[in-house]
């Protein structure tokens, strides 16, 4: 019986790895136009959340279905994040180079705080799009609320998000291997780990509502 149990676990793990490799390649391909990064990321979250909850699905079919369904909303959110981030970073650059004194420090501090708020919320934007059906306004407000009412989860998501950077640091002398891992599985694996955490959080929210 133990042998069958081990075989079952091995097969389940192998299937998840192949699913993540498939998802990673699909995600990368759909990110190439850049403007579609939001839709591609929300689709990746939608499928990895299904995997985390052990819901059977056809990976490729579900990915493109989620990509189409979330395209408009995810693209609006993605563009809003990029434009806001660019404006804030540009403001920081201009203020730090052309202004001096205590007023400059206060303004830079405020801009930095807004960037932290944006970064914290951005860890929830696309999984919220993937899991819930809300207006775009609700996606922003709910994501910020989740980020700051669940600080432990937010910090864990931040740490998991460092996995791709960690891979590049570990393989900095073997850049080909590091790049190969990033292309094949690392981003999808990182998102899957986040989805395991977020699935538990989202389930508690659904039960509470």
Per-residue pLDDT of the chain (209 residues; tens, 9 = 90+): 444 454 567 777 888 889 999 999 999 999 999 999 999 999 999 999 999 988 877 899 999 999 999 999 999 999 999 999 999 999 888 888 777 777 778 888 899 999 999 999 999 999 999 999 999 999 999 999 999 999 999 999 999 998 888 888 887 777 787 788 777 888 899 999 999 999 999 988 875 55
Q: Are residues 48 and 198 in contact, defined by beta-carbon separation less than 8 angstroms?
A: no
Report the chain's mean pLDDT, rounded to a whole number. Answer: 88
- Give the integer Cα–Cα distance in Å for 192 and 186: 10
Q: Are residues 145 and 123 in contact, defined by beta-carbon separation less than 8 angstroms?
A: no
- Give the integer Cα–Cα distance in Å for 13 and 21: 12
Q: Per-domain residue ranges for the chain? A: 2-208
Q: Are residues 17 and 167 in contact, defined by beta-carbon separation less than 8 angstroms?
A: no
């Amino acid at each position: 019986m133990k042998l069958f149990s081990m075989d079952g676990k091995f097969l389940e793990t192998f299937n998840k790895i192949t699913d993540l490799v498939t998802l990673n390649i699909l995600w990368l391909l759909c990110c190439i136009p850049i403007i579609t990064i939001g839709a591609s990321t929300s689709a990746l979250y939608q499928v990895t959340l299904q995997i985390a909850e052990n819901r059977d699905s056809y990976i490729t079919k579900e990915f493109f279905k989620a990509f189409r369904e979330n395209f408009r909303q995810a693209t609006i959110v993605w563009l809003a994040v990029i434009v806001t981030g660019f404006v804030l970073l540009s403001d920081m650059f201009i203020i730090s180079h052309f202004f001096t004194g205590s007023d400059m420090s206060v303004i830079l501090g405020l801009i930095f705080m807004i960037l932290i708020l944006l970064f914290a919320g951005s860890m929830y934007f696309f999984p919220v799009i993937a899991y819930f059906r809300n207006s775009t306004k609700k996606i922003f407000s709910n994501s910020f609320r989740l980020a700051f009412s669940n600080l432990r989860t937010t910090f864990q998501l931040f740490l998991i998000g460092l996995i791709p950077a960690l891979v590049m640091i570990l393989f900095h002398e073997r850049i080909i291997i590091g790049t190969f891992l990033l292309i094949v599985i690392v981003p999808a694996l990182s998102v899957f780990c986040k989805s395991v955490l977020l699935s538990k959080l989202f389930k508690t929210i659904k039960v509470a509502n």
